[in-house]
Amino acid sequence: MASDPYDIKFTIASTDYGFMLVSPEGMSKQLSVAEVGVPEVARVSNASGATHQDFDPRFDTPFSMDSFDAGSGQALFDNFDENAVWWAPGVVTHVEGKAYLAPPVSSLALTSATTQVNGFYTYTTSAGARYDFCWSGTRLYRRDAANKTNPWGVAYTHASQNVTDFTVFNAKGVIAVAGDTSTADFLNVTANLTSGTMTTSAANHTPFSSGTKPKFFKAIRGTLYALVDNSKVFYTVDPTIDGWIGPIETTVGAGDPKVGDGTYAFTNVVAASDYIFTFSYDAGYNIDSEQNVSEIFAQWKDKPATTNFDHVAVNSLDSTLIFGAGNEVYTYDPQTGATAPMGLSKQSGFSVQNILGVAAGNQFAYVLATVRVATINSASSVALFRCYKMRGARWGFEVLWEDTAVTETYYNLAAVPFGLGTRLYWGQVLSGTASINCMDIPADWDETSSGSYAASGVLYTSISRAMFPGFVKRHLWLSYETDGTIDGNNYIRADYSTNNGATWTPLTSTGAGSASTLVTRGDYTAVASRSIALRFVFVSGGAVTPQLRVFDHHQRVRFKYLQSIMAAVRVADGIEKNNGARDVRSKATLRADLLTLRTSDATITYTDFLGNSFPCTIDMVTYSPTRHHVPNKTLNVYELEAQIAITRADDGD
Amino acid sequence: MAVTFNIPVDELDVAQLIADGFTSLTLWYADEPDGVYQDSGVTPDPATLAAAVTAEDYEFEFSYSGGSPSQWFKVRAKQGISYSDIYLSSPFTGGSGVTLAYLRRRLGKMLGDMAVITTTASADANTATCTGFEVKRWPDNYFNGQFIYRPATDEDAIIDSSTQSTGALNFSPDNGTTVGSGVVLEITKRWTHSEYNEAINWACVAAYPVLSRPIVNTGLLTIADTMVYTAPQDILTITSVEIESKFQPDSTDPAVRGRPWSQVPFAPLNEGLNVKFELNWPEMEDQRLRVCGTGYLSQMAEDTDSTECLQHNADLLLAKAAERLFSLMSMNAASSDRDFYIEQESRFKSLYLESKPSQRSKRSAQRRWGADARAQGGGRAPYDPRRDGRAP
């Protein structure tokens, strides 16, 4: 035995301290091996989501969700929002009590387009016909937006320069080509606005005779504003005639008020709540109806970047501005002047690397971004977020679409009306060919009756941890309630991961399904781990969406085996050891050894004749004399008996 | 020291051995009765079984010049390179009983206290290496605190650590020389080899008269008109006094002169530590007296010293020694260990008492000068060959 020739032995560094246990007549060695008690469950974790059930080995720890409306972005389950998930690409989660597949995505070609789509525009005729426009390179494209399938056609092509903006003002198109070096300052569409190749008339107007041409147009209050790099804003009520007023200067010293900076070119312009907002790499300006300019976004003055204000949209629901800066999306309320980040970049479940597009519809904001979902994805992906306001200032994010094998270059996102719903366009370039992705989003808050869904989606739950690395939980079973899992083509499969999402193992599936609400159960076989995450794979035939309503996973904590030992050891002269030899240590030495052990801060290794061996602490040493009746002997009638409390001091077995 | 044995074999047994293909008898020896016996290589006389038949001499004489009375012997028949089974031959002593080393180790085994090991590799002056199972059966540090004794150099040490995998035993203090391979060592748990020896020698005395050394002394001569004689000093108890006859008084052959001895009545007189005896035989003069008695078993100092025990009463002696060891152990033990020691002391005391009637030393009945003899006014007692010390 490891403690030879003693019953128990302690070792500090290489020094052994052996002891013999008390063995009263007719009794066994006085050694009691128990377990360290279960900790006070109220104190075992400071996790806000932890309950006593998490750490009571007699009860299952439920890991359950009946709503997913806090959306994606939460890597760990217990600490934050019980309705949030880690990542759910292609799955809609904003509806309380259910998760289902997102609408499908289709792609439309852009004839002859080879570079990124630089902008979108939508126009509804007085007759109610809708036309959507986008521009890529020298071409302006147009499609009849009556459906999702009408192709994009080339409506206008400039001879050499890129189209920088297009808008319709007073039912007439205006095309900006800022790089045009000819006398054409911009182009008025005089015919074929909605069909065929546009007929244009080159404008040669006085304000632009210096050579700097309008880059962007924005119409508001019956007035068309033209932005001319780097700081001039002209306006007119009829762009077909040379009647421009201005400029409104956003440059310091060039007019009143002197607030702006002319270092950087304009990057964007929007109109919201009776204001014109212009943007450059370092700031954003508000131009009111009195042509007063105020610098409302000054936070980036010392941080100019091409990613600042690259994408701007107006949320129709509350007239807030939404814009990307760096890897975050911000909202700005013109009424209160409050600017706040959406929180997209501060998610534990994913990281935003680059904002590729921002858009807003009547109900939601949308963000196209390059993201990295660590562990789940091995590389960066491009995701289309649908963002919705939650309680307080929080935003929820659901991932309508994700490209996990990115070979394309995605850029620009637009949300245009589609009936009462919203149509999303986002551009891509693959191998020198540009195209437009399109997703039609119903106006229904709950879209499960829309009848058109993506073929698949995956919902990764947050990771439910055992909280302490030394703990494991044994996983028992999982059940989940579904609707729409009607057959083998419309099902939800449940997988699990015990390594933080690195690998996944199928557990069970709704299989052949049922037309009714279905409860599916899967039992784990010998699965124990420090954490678990679940993955629900939604598969649809396209017309029906499987809906996940509730799942409950049951696990039970397994505490590490930590021995707590009470030992009574002999303290006397000449004690006989297990091998018959007598201990040369005196009673005083044994007492001193016990004191050394009790007060040592070093690592103490405990071994005993039972085979136990582990680091320990000596928590208590008490003494009591014991009398041994020995006839005709007068010496050493008394011994000391020391009671030692020993507790294992490592992570246990 | 040479030893000589005359081994008489029944002629019928000789004929059977010849019929079984054996050709001669051989003498085997060992240091201990249960030790490993080796062929002494001595050629007996007669040299072969066939020669014995031819000469009709069936008493085989083995003269082993390299032997010792403290050794033990067996006789085995030889057939070419084969021998009769060793268990067919009973061991017999060379004449001086059992040695101290044998008794100590037998006592160690009796107590479960001793392991006798032979090293299997050379180590250093504070390490002995033995890969034998008696060492490697035990886990690391099992031997810590036990005593290790090297008989060849009479060195004691205490084991500090032991390693199961290598069979290494580290001890202190160092021996004077490196512990080579093939060194016999005694490992004891509770007692040192000195304590063993002391206990055995103590038992040699304490067991008297249950265990005793028989003494025959023929040195005293009768003196005219003298009736009281002082017994030889080594005799503690006189069992018989005999007087030689007048037969061939000039012979120098002890097997002839004065025989047969005649037993005479005597009365022992203990005067202080002197043992005397009184004879009622005043007319004798210059006749040898044969005084038979008993004394303590011989005590031993060296491992090769021996005492007058055979195997069976060696256990009786050792039971006494074991009782002694546990008795001493309980004197200064930690109090709660004493129960065990006292229990063991009692156990061996009981063993001694139980075995005493059957294993005690052979001892002649004592004939004293009683009232009847005195009434007869003297005279020789009838000759009784059983009393001359030669008959079994």
pLDDT at position B31: 86
Q: How many CB atoms lie within 10 A of CB A421?
A: 17
Report the C-alpha dihedral over residues B380, B381, B383, B385, rounded to 10 degrees.
-130
pLDDT at position B389: 44
Say whether B335 and A636 touch across the interface (CB within 8 A).
Answer: yes
pLDDT band at A345 (very low <50, low <70, confident <90, very high): very high
Entry field: residues in chain A: 653
3-state helix, strand, coil in chain A (%, to 5): 5, 50, 50
* Chain B CA closest to residue A637: B335
For chain A, give the percent of residues with pLDDT over 70: 93
Angstrom distance (rounded) from CA B277 to CA B267: 5
Angstrom distance (rounded) from CA A2 to CA B141: 8
> What is chain A's mean pLDDT, rounded?
90
Arithmetic mean of pLDDT, A253-268: 68
Query: B77-94: per-residue pLDDT in tens?
Result: 999 999 998 877 888 988
B79: tokens are 């057939």
- B→A interface, C-beta within 8 Å: 113, 138-147, 189-190, 330-340, 342
Residue A259 pLDDT > 80, yes or no? no
Angstrom distance (rounded) from CA A64 to CA A321: 37
Query: Does residue B173 have a cis peptide bond before it, meaning omega lies within 30 degrees of 0?
Result: yes
Residue A256 pLDDT > 60, yes or no? no
Query: A268-278: per-residue pLDDT in tens?
Result: 999 988 889 99
Query: A540-595: per-residue pLDDT in tens?
Result: 999 999 999 999 999 988 777 889 999 999 998 889 998 888 898 989 999 999 99
Closest CA to A419 of A384, A399, A444, A400: A444
B27: tokens are 């003498």
Arithmetic mean of pLDDT, B14-22: 94
pLDDT at position A391: 83
pLDDT at position A362: 85
pLDDT band at B376 (very low <50, low <70, confident <90, very high): low
Query: A511-530: per-residue pLDDT in tens?
Result: 999 999 999 999 999 999 98
Arithmetic mean of pLDDT, A446-468: 92
Q: How many CB atoms lie within 10 A of CB A605?
A: 18
Of A14-18, B13-17, B285-289, the range with the lowest mean pLDDT is: B285-289
pLDDT band at B16 (very low <50, low <70, confident <90, very high): very high
Of A176-185, A636-645, B198-207, the range with the lowest mean pLDDT is: A636-645
Interface residue of B336, B339, B341, B342 to substitute, partner A, most A CBs within 10 Å? B336
Residue A498 pLDDT > 90, yes or no? yes
Query: A221-239: per-residue pLDDT in tens?
Result: 899 999 998 888 999 999 9
Angstrom distance (rounded) from CA A217 to CA A163: 12
Report the C-alpha dihedral over residues A167, A172, A173, A176, rounded to 10 degrees.
-80
Residue A496: which residues within 8 A CB-CB, separation 6 or more? A475, A478, A504, A505, A507, A524, A527, A532, A533, A534, A535
Interface residue of A582, A607, A610 to substitute, partner B, most B CBs within 10 Å? A582
Angstrom distance (rounded) from CA A239 to CA A260: 26
B142: Cα within 13 Å, side-chain hemisphere: 17
Helix axes B100-111, B311-331, angle to 10 degrees: 60
Say whether B142 and A5 touch across the interface (CB within 8 A).
Answer: yes
Residue A27: which residues within 8 A CB-CB, separation 6 or more? none
Arithmetic mean of pLDDT, A347-370: 95
Residue A146 pLDDT > 80, yes or no? yes
Query: A407-453: per-residue pLDDT in tens?
Result: 999 999 999 999 899 999 999 999 999 999 999 999 999 999 998 99
Contact of A639 with chain B, judged by CB distance below 8 Å, is answered with: yes
CA–CA–CA angle A178, A423, A97 (5° rounding): 140
ipTM for the predicted complex? 0.73
B185: tokens are 């060592």
Say whether A576 and B330 touch across the interface (CB within 8 A).
Answer: no
How far apart are the two ends of chain A, measured CA to CA in Å? 20
- How far does the CA of residue A576 sit from the closest CA of chain B (Å)? 7
Say whether A4 and B141 touch across the interface (CB within 8 A).
Answer: yes
What are the residue ranges of helices labelled H in B254-334?
311-331
Coil, helix or strand at residue B251: coil
- Which runs of E-coded beta strand occur in B133-236? 147-150, 155-163, 168-172, 184-188, 213-221, 228-230
pLDDT at position B96: 85
Say whether B141 and A628 touch across the interface (CB within 8 A).
Answer: no
CA distances from A463 to A97, A348, A385, A466 (A): 20, 11, 21, 10
A-B C-beta contacts closer than 8 Å = 84
Angstrom distance (rounded) from CA A593 to CA A9: 11
B285: tokens are 């003069």
pLDDT at position B131: 96
Closest CA to B280 of B364, B366, B365, B381: B381
B340 CB neighbours in chain A (<8 A) are 576
Q: What are the beta bridge partners of residue A631?
A: none
The answer to whether the Cα torsion of A6, A9, A12, A14 is positive or negative is positive
Coil, helix or strand at residue A392: coil
Coil, helix or strand at residue A517: coil
Determine contact, residues A400/A103, Cβ cutoff 8 Å: yes
Angstrom distance (rounded) from CA A646 to CA A17: 14
Determine contact, residues B82/B21, Cβ cutoff 8 Å: no
More confident residue, A362 or A397: A397
* Chain A CA closest to residue B137: A1
Residue A254 pLDDT > 70, yes or no? no
How far apart are the two ends of chain B, measured CA to CA in Å? 27
What are the residue ranges of helices labelled H in A240-385?
none
Residue B169 pLDDT > 50, yes or no? yes
Q: How many CB atoms lie within 10 A of CB B203?
A: 27
CA–CA–CA angle A481, A485, A486 (5° rounding): 135
Residue A35: which residues within 8 A CB-CB, separation 6 or more? A559, A561, A562, A563, A564
Residue B379 pLDDT > 50, yes or no? no
Coil, helix or strand at residue B392: coil
Select from B145, B189, B334 the Cβ nearest to the Cβ of A584: B145
Contact of A581 with chain B, judged by CB distance below 8 Å, is answered with: yes
Arithmetic mean of pLDDT, B205-232: 90
Contact of A636 with chain B, judged by CB distance below 8 Å, is answered with: yes
Determine contact, residues A606/A8, Cβ cutoff 8 Å: yes
pLDDT at position A292: 85
Coil, helix or strand at residue A588: helix
* Chain B CA closest to residue A578: B142
- How far does the CA of residue A4 sit from the closest CA of chain B (Å)? 5
B295: tokens are 């004394």
Say whether A572 and B143 touch across the interface (CB within 8 A).
Answer: no
Contact of A628 with chain B, judged by CB distance below 8 Å, is answered with: yes
Q: Provide the CA B155 distance to its chain's centre, in angstroms.
A: 25
Closest CA to A426 of A403, A459, A443: A403
Query: B125-146: per-residue pLDDT in tens?
Result: 999 999 999 999 999 999 999 9
* Region for residue A214 given its phi and psi (left: phi exceeds 0; alpha: psi -120 to 50; beta: otherwise): beta
B189 CB neighbours in chain A (<8 A) are 579-581
Residue A123 pLDDT > 50, yes or no? yes
Angstrom distance (rounded) from CA B49 to CA B12: 11
- How far does the CA of residue A647 sit from the closest CA of chain B (Å)? 25
Interface residue of B141, B331, B335 to substitute, partner A, most A CBs within 10 Å? B335
- How far does the CA of residue A2 sit from the closest CA of chain B (Å)? 7
Say whether A581 and B190 touch across the interface (CB within 8 A).
Answer: yes
Angstrom distance (rounded) from CA A364 to CA A385: 10
Say whether A572 and B138 touch across the interface (CB within 8 A).
Answer: no
pLDDT band at A493 (very low <50, low <70, confident <90, very high): very high
B333 CB neighbours in chain A (<8 A) are 574, 576, 582, 636
pLDDT at position B368: 58
Residue B386 pLDDT > 50, yes or no? no
Q: In what order do the strands lie in the sheet with A153-157?
A: A117-124, A130-136, A139-144, A153-157
Residue showing tokens 């139980």: B354
Residue B378 pLDDT > 70, yes or no? no
Report the C-alpha dihedral over residues B42, B45, B46, B47, rounded to 10 degrees.
20
Say whether B339 and A581 touch across the interface (CB within 8 A).
Answer: no
Angstrom distance (rounded) from CA A329 to CA A308: 10
Closest CA to B127 of B91, B89, B175: B175
pLDDT at position A323: 95
Residue A50 pLDDT > 80, yes or no? no
For A22-60, give the DSSP string.
Answer: P--TTS--SEEEEEPPPPPTTTS---TT--GGGG-TTS-
Determine contact, residues A50/A78, Cβ cutoff 8 Å: yes
* Chain A CA closest to residue B191: A581
Residue B372 pLDDT > 60, yes or no? no
Residue B253: which residues within 8 A CB-CB, separation 6 or more? none
Arithmetic mean of pLDDT, B226-252: 88
> What is chain B's mean pLDDT, rounded?
88
Say whether B338 and A628 touch across the interface (CB within 8 A).
Answer: yes
Determine contact, residues A182/A170, Cβ cutoff 8 Å: no
Q: pTM for the complete prediction?
A: 0.62
More confident residue, B178 or A27: B178
Arithmetic mean of pLDDT, A19-28: 86
For chain B, give the percent of residues with pLDDT over 70: 91
pLDDT at position A43: 52
- Cα Dmax for chain A: 133
Say whether B336 and A570 touch across the interface (CB within 8 A).
Answer: yes
